[in-house]
Amino acid sequence: MKYRTILISDVHLGTRGCQAELLLDFLSCHEAETYYLVGDIYDGWQMHRGLNWAESHTAVVHALLGKAAAGARMVFVPGNHDEMFRSCLGAHFGGIEVMARADYVTADGRRYLVTHGDEFDAVVVHAKWLAHVGDRAYDLAIQANILFNRVRRLWGGPYWSLSKWAKAQVKRAVSHVSAFEAALAKEAREHGYDGIVCGHIHTAALREIEGIQYVNTGDWVESCTAVVEREDGSLHLLDWAAVRRRRALANSHPRLMRRRRQNAEAA
């Protein structure tokens, strides 16, 4: 598929939970004129706990650099986990532009502010130590989730996210997400934008908040989502993990039918 723009965030290269192979699959199936990398592409915080860098993580970096070398515009807006790149604002790495914030204009003329969003997270801003504790807890939840879903796959059960379930159940977490979204929409409104693009909270969304289009690209740890812009300027949220599950299910039906016929003939 060819798009005008692709926006992704929160890949967290260097962590055990990074779904690098799914992202590689997505990048191989989609092309764009412009890519926005909306922060936390690389996880510098993980370095303090031991880097989990696989060959697929290197392949993601090569894939992005390859697209930039082929002529695509690549804009990188660092987040809190890859904040070390905020000291490199204005630099170009292999054709990738590093910017604190970016202006993004769709084909139909709508203006969006692109920012990772951590500066609107009160915990990150006012209690960074607590953010690190929360990140460690999230990492443990992801590890538990990996083990749980390995067992779940034995009987063909679909992927289940512990962290997403917790976010939906805990009122304080729901309130935190709502406050975050409202603060970003307010920022866009006050600066004359039509919308805002962010990541950070690993909760994909594409909706309107009091006249401002709020766009959260999600993540590539659990949801594996991206936002794409078609040639007419319309934005769409793609859940690549769900697409892959549907394809696997569709491909399994012919094999199941053949196996049933073979079993019936053998009987």
Domain definitions of the chain by residue range? 2-266
pLDDT recorded at residue 230: 97
What is the CB neighbour count within 10 angstroms for residue 56? 15
Token look-up 């599950």 returns 245
pLDDT recorded at residue 244: 86
Six token digits for residue 151: 């067992």
pLDDT recorded at residue 45: 79
pLDDT recorded at residue 120: 84
Rounded CA-CA distance 226/240 in Å is 8
CA neighbor of 115 nearest in space, from 203, 198, 187, 7: 198
Angle at 103 between CA 7 and CA 97, to 5 degrees: 70
Six token digits for residue 157: 């059960």
Positions in the chain whose pLDDT score sits under 70 = 49-50, 122-176, 252-267
pLDDT recorded at residue 164: 58
For the domain spanning 2-266, the CATH number is 3.60.21.10
pLDDT recorded at residue 251: 72
Q: Which residues pair with 195 in a beta bridge?
A: 112, 213
The sign of the torsion formed by the CA atoms of 226, 142, 157, 151 equals: positive
pLDDT recorded at residue 71: 95
